Amino acid sequence: MDIGIWMTPETLEAKLEERHSGNPEAAWNLTRWPRGFRSDPEAPDRLFVASAGHWIGYFHISPEMLYLPEEKKTPYVLLFDTSTWTTIPPIKAKRFRGFTYKVPREVRGKWELPEETPPGKPSLRSRDTRASNRR
């Protein structure tokens, strides 16, 4: 399963510096838990990163994840291995909050952003629309 997050260039630089530390594991806190982790035991779960207007790469997500109920705003902690950083050719991205399932895919050797959200995965737009309709 792949998800994407937005990082500032400074945050990404700090995460990438952790690759050379004794413990290359880093964390990213979330307000809600993504669905679909470990759905394919043959393929690693990936955390795609958008920064400065483009999708630029990904990390492999650790199979261990944390739940911290005392963290009221962001109790879910995604762990990822900074030593697995893989760059991709830049693909335009609009800034967003939280995470998205709409991440770049490699199709016939070329990276592109899918036009539609993967089946069964809520898009940020549909989630935002539902939230605004409740007001």
Domain ranges of the chain: 2-133
Question: Tokens 């690693």 map to which residue?
Answer: 44
pTM: 0.80
What pLDDT does residue 118 have? 52
pLDDT of residue 6: 96
Instruction: Give the pLDDT of residue 43.
Output: 82
Place of tokens 């994407």: 4
pLDDT at res. 125 = 40
Residue numbers in the chain where pLDDT is lower than 70: 116-135
CA dihedral 60, 48, 118, 34 (to 10 degrees): 70
SS3 state of residue 9: helix
